[in-house]
Amino acid sequence: QKEVEQNSGPLSVPEGAIASLNCTYSDRGSQSFFWYRQYSGKSPELIMFIYSNGDKEDGRFTAQLNKASQYVSLLIRDSQPSDSATYLCASEHSSASKIIFGSGTRLSIRP
Amino acid sequence: DTEVTQTPKHLVMGMTNKKSLKCEQHMGHRAMYWYKQKAKKPPELMFVYSYEKLSINESVPSRFSPECPNSSLLNLHLHALQPEDSALYLCASSLSRSTRGAFTDTQYFGPGTRLTVL
């Protein structure tokens, strides 16, 4: 079974701090990984994707990928109350036309 | 433009009704997806269409019937649903899966249809 695992949280972070969200995956053949943000009652919104080992930065967001450890993370710098949401990690299925979602981590930024 | 549209936004139906959900994208994407999402759960894949052909059916009950009339449109026909089918139904699209890669696999979601079955 191809799986993606995330800590469900809630993860509480003070405003202005760095929020660190983590994800592990079991499919060694996966090449692409995705982070989505989902506000309550809304649809998932793509934050970024990553496919190379190392870091990828986009504004306040940094995705990190370590294929040897099968580990993906998302760092949010200067956290804002508007970052409070559920963050879904997903990996591409290596042999089927789909992506596998983790259960999501609920992030709460406290003022 | 990374917009996927879905109609209606909300739908309330009885167990004997027949209704349809509609999804549209004009990004030239050739893969389209239907997901079902319950509260506090991740999206659960239902169907995948690739180049207008059904490529994945995740053992979805036959009361859900997908249709892809053309490369921009995806429908989900609903018939004889049960109250437990009440959920947020999400449509997504991606460039294609003819070659693997993060760019082609990236899925963009529509706003969803909130379905309530009475």
Q: Encode chain A (111 residues) as per-residue pLDDT tens digits.
A: 669 999 988 999 999 999 999 999 999 988 899 999 999 999 999 999 999 999 999 999 999 999 999 999 999 999 999 999 999 999 988 887 889 999 999 999 999
Token pair listed for B93: 């699209």
Q: Which of A7, A8, A43 to mutate to test the interface with B (most CBs of B within 10 A)?
A: A43
**CA dist., res. A63 & res. A49, Å (int):** 8
Q: Which helix (H) or strand (E) covers residue B106, if one does?
A: none
Name the residue among B42, B55, B111 with its Cβ closest to that of A103: B42
Strand partners, A76: A19, A61
Tell whether A49 is within 8 A of chain B (Cβ): yes
Please report residues of A whose CB lies closer than 8 A to that of B108: 46
Q: Is the CB of B102 less than 8 angstroms away from the CB of A96?
A: no
Are B15 and B118 in contact, with CB atoms under 8 Å apart? yes
B102 has a pLDDT exceeding 80:
no
**CA dist., res. B110 & res. B118, Å (int):** 24
If we measure between CA atoms, which residue out of A41, A43, A47 comes closest to residue A23?
Answer: A47
Could you tell me which residues come within 8 angstroms of residue A63 by beta carbon, excluding any fewer than 6 positions away?
A33, A35, A48, A49, A50, A55, A56, A72, A73, A74, A75
If we measure between CA atoms, which residue out of B87, B91, B86, B95 comes closest to residue B111?
Answer: B91
Phi and psi, residue B95, nearest 5°: -55, -55
Q: Is the CB of B102 less than 8 angstroms away from the CB of A50?
A: yes
